[in-house]
Amino acid sequence: MSAGGGAVAEASPSPSLNRHHRRRIVAIIAITVTEPSPTIPTVPAKPIRRLAACVEYCGAAYSGWQYQANAPSVQARVERAVSRVADADTRVSAAGRTDAGVHGGGQVIHFDTRARRSAHEWLRGVNTHLPDDIKLLWTREVGGDFHARFAAFERGYRYVIFNRAVAPTYLRERVAWHPMPVAVQPMRRAAAALIGRHDFSAFRGAHCQAKHPFRTLRRIDLGHAGAWIWLDFSADGFLHHMVRNIAGTLLRIGEGHEAAEWAGEILAGRDRAAAGPTAPAAGLYLTRVTYAPRHRLPPPPPACRFW
């Protein structure tokens, strides 16, 4: 109605205009639905490779191989250096966990990485970031089934004794000093009683975490040259402090405090308190770890010697 009361006709929307708008809307929707969106090319991830390496170290300045939150460890140093070369945080697994003050001449490790480096680049790069008392001797790519600890079927240790009245100077923390004179032949006879598969509870450290005390001790060779005495051990595995406890027991026999037969009696008794003392860590070296030939690892390095 108008102000004057007359009727006013309202214009209706143009049917043709409405159809035009509808066609545009449908076209826009169709374009939006059918037009392919641009794709971002993906870069395939580099395959993971497993590398093995041999580590040589002097353990005098470290709390042992295994990482510890509040003490320096060989593992922490090695992981830091490997991570620098790999450009990624990298964890390593080792064949054995040596104690504080124990040395490694043939420790074997493995780690996984996506980094592409040659064996020479790994060796030179990691050693550049390691301190003077830790170095890699070699690196090799291995199969995914290789494990530094679980693939090993034999380990070797050498225990080095410096037998003179005066304490060593430049050899301090590198050898076990024993000032009392010892006789080597009774020690050899005593060591023979320990060869074979036995319950080695009498030579097991109090903090040993092994599931059982049985080990197969395949060899104990005792060498002697002047003031030097060395013991070479080979076994399928060792209990915590096992080598050092055997060395301490053999030294008691060498000093003449006990007969050679005492070692066998101690073994049969399975009582740690009845055996000899734990020999010092400074004389102990992890010299070699043995694996199946299919892994194609280099031979173990020569065992340490000072004589």
Q: What is the dihedral of CA 285, 291, 296, 301, to 10 degrees?
A: 20
Active site annotation includes 99: yes
Burial (CB count within 10 angstroms: exposed 0-12, middle 13-18, buried 19+), residue 120: exposed
CB atoms within 10 A of CB 152: 18
Q: Name the nearest CA neighbour of 237 among 209, 261, 262, 256.
A: 209
Burial (CB count within 10 angstroms: exposed 0-12, middle 13-18, buried 19+), residue 59: buried
DSSP for 239-270, written as a single string: -TTHHHHHHHHHHHHHTTSS-TTHHHHHHHHT
Identify the active-site residue in 89, 99, 112, 133. Answer: 99
Q: Which residues lie below 8 Å from residue 103, measured CB to CB, with a gap of 6+?
A: 57, 58, 59, 60, 174, 284, 285, 286, 304
Residue 94, beta-bridge partner list: 109
Q: One-letter amino acid identity for 150? A: F
Longest dimension (CA), the chain: 139
Supply 65's token pair.
């191989």
Question: For residues 181-199, b (16+ Cβ closer than 10 Å) or e, as one string?
Answer: ebeeebbbbbbebbeeebe
Q: What angle do CA 269, 271, 273 make, to 5 degrees?
A: 135
Which residues are part of the catalytic machinery? 99
